[in-house]
Amino acid sequence: MAIKKIGVLGAGTMGNGIAQVAAQAGYDVVMRDIEDRFVEGGIKNIDKFLSKSVEKGKMKAEDKSAIMGRIKGTTKMEDMKDVDFVVEVVLEVMDIKKKVFAELDEITRKDVILASNTSSMSLTEIATATKRPDKVVGMHFFNPVPLMKLVEVIRGMKTNDETVATTIDLTRKLGKEPVEVRVDIPGFLVNRLMVPHLLEAIKLYEQGVASIEDIDKAAKLGLNYPMGPFELMDLTGLDINVHVAQYFYDNLPKESKWDPPFTLRNLVKAGILGRKSGKGWYDYSK
């Protein structure tokens, strides 16, 4: 099936990033969110990113205009009815994802693949909300989407080979590099490797072993990471880190290493979520 129009469900940081790379690759995009302010915010973020590319001479102004012209923002779920492929980018809450997939199953054509950008949750369970579990797949992008090359393509228990092949092909057409995750396990590949070191960094801080700044410096200079664990948590969102760690704790064999530390939980309870709230482990309001 030829994919010409892509639906993106969610206009936040990840959603508008996916919409942008799809439009840059020549696809028409429908980006939907629940309120106009979220949609408008997503459009503004895309415009801001592309404007910087024009300023730096990486893109012509007319190319930017063409890309923006391929993106339609909406709050109407029914606008997904004529898309050829969907990427869901809503909150990491299973009940919300299943509700959204049930709606997409009713609205979209039966041959349309429904992909989730979930970073850790079961595609097999998400697929139970649909009548097409063979066409439900994981398509996990990384933040910031326009710059990060990797996409995890994850099989659910009933995802068929054609769905995986189509998703991998689309990933490459978007200018990204796919890795296939063959078993539907919590966290897939990257988060299973990453989350333990993020949580361990918090525990080292809580135990007074080192400061946040020195732990980040150690990871960057000693492990050659592009950013430290606290910087990374601030970028992705502390609330996302709590959700993912809690999901691991609830769905993997019970181990204390997956339990979100109290400091992380308390920051989220206080609304201190990282860059998006202006403050996280570091202060971005200055």
Active site members: 119, 140, 152, 191
Token pair for residue 181? 């995750």
The strand ranges marked E within 132-249 are: 136-140, 150-155, 177-181
State how far the Cα of 23 lies from the Cα of 43, in Å rounded to an integer.
12
Strands 136-140 and 150-155: antiparallel
Token pair for residue 266? 């308390």
- Return the closest-CA partner of residue 149 out of 53, 17, 243: 17
Amino acid at 230: F
CA angle (40, 272, 231) in 5-degree steps: 90
- Return the closest-CA partner of residue 213 out of 226, 198, 230: 230
| Termini Cα distance of the chain | 50
State how far the Cα of 116 lies from the Cα of 15, in Å rounded to an integer.
11
Amino acid at 252: L
State how far the Cα of 96 lies from the Cα of 84, in Å rounded to an integer.
22
Residue with tokens 């097999």: 124
